[in-house]
Amino acid sequence: MKLKIWELSLFVALVIAVLWGLTLEQRQTGLSEQIVRLHVIAHSDETADQALKYEVRDRVRELIEPLLESAANRAEAETVIRAHLPEIEAAAGVPARATLTRERYPTRAYESFTLPAGIYSSLRVEIGSGGGRNWWCVVFPPLCIEAASGPEALEAMGLTEGEIALITGGEQGYTIRFRTLEIMDELRARLGL
């Protein structure tokens, strides 16, 4: 049985798309192994609870960012965070639960870079029941600070040029590349992988 030209073209395109997706996923995994994200979840979507979420965010950042200055890598940052979880909860100033966990994040565009969807180490701070909208950034390295969110901070992370290109994207269609990662991540989640 001979394949028609369009069937062969479709097959080749599918193989290229899968290989491209696997390459991007490998880069994202390498990137996620170098950072810790901060995830603050409000008690509810009420206006007062959403305003409180930002106050808690600021208090937690004020406490944790100086503590992480001496961390050389993600493992050291996680050790510091684990040692200070009770202090982080206290710094919130309201009933909150702080945990260090692995979480699935969607693609997130920041002012000067974009992080692809995937599973990241995460300092999770839930205020009250944690039923409201959330806020997140990168707490290690300190990319929550606007001055540190440029290319210098990314280079300081020890990222390869390919990884920096992956998250800064420039004008080269990073949205399409990240959507591919999101689709692969959703498929992996549905399959329980």
Question: 117-129, pLDDT tens digit by residue?
Answer: 788 999 999 999 9
C-alpha closest to that of 166 among 60, 20, 44, 6: 20
Tokens of 66: 């100086």
Within-domain flag for 25:
no
Residue 46 burial (C-beta neighbours within 10 Å; 0-12, 13-18, 19+): exposed
For residue 49, give its domain range. Answer: 30-188
Q: How is residue 107 written in tokens?
A: 């693609």
- Residue 8 domain-assigned (yes or no): no
Estimate the share of the chain in helix, then strand, then coil, as percent rounded to the nearest 5. 55, 20, 25
Three-class secondary structure of residue 101 per DSSP? strand
Q: Is residue 176 assigned to a domain?
A: yes
CB 142 within 8 A of CB 37: no
Give the list of residues 6+ apart from residue 171 with CB closer than 8 angstroms, or none: none
Domains identified in the chain, total number: 1
- Above 90 in pLDDT, residue 96? yes
Is residue 23 included in any domain, yes or no?
A: no
Computed over every residue of the chain, the mean pLDDT equals 77
Residue 139 lies inside a defined structural domain of this protein: yes
In a domain, 64, yes or no: yes
- For 147-186, what is each residue's pLDDT tens digit? 344 445 555 555 566 655 555 554 444 444 455 556 666 6
| Cα separations in angstroms, 159 against 16, 27, 170 | 26, 10, 16
Kindly report whether the global pTM for this prediction surpasses the value 0.75: no
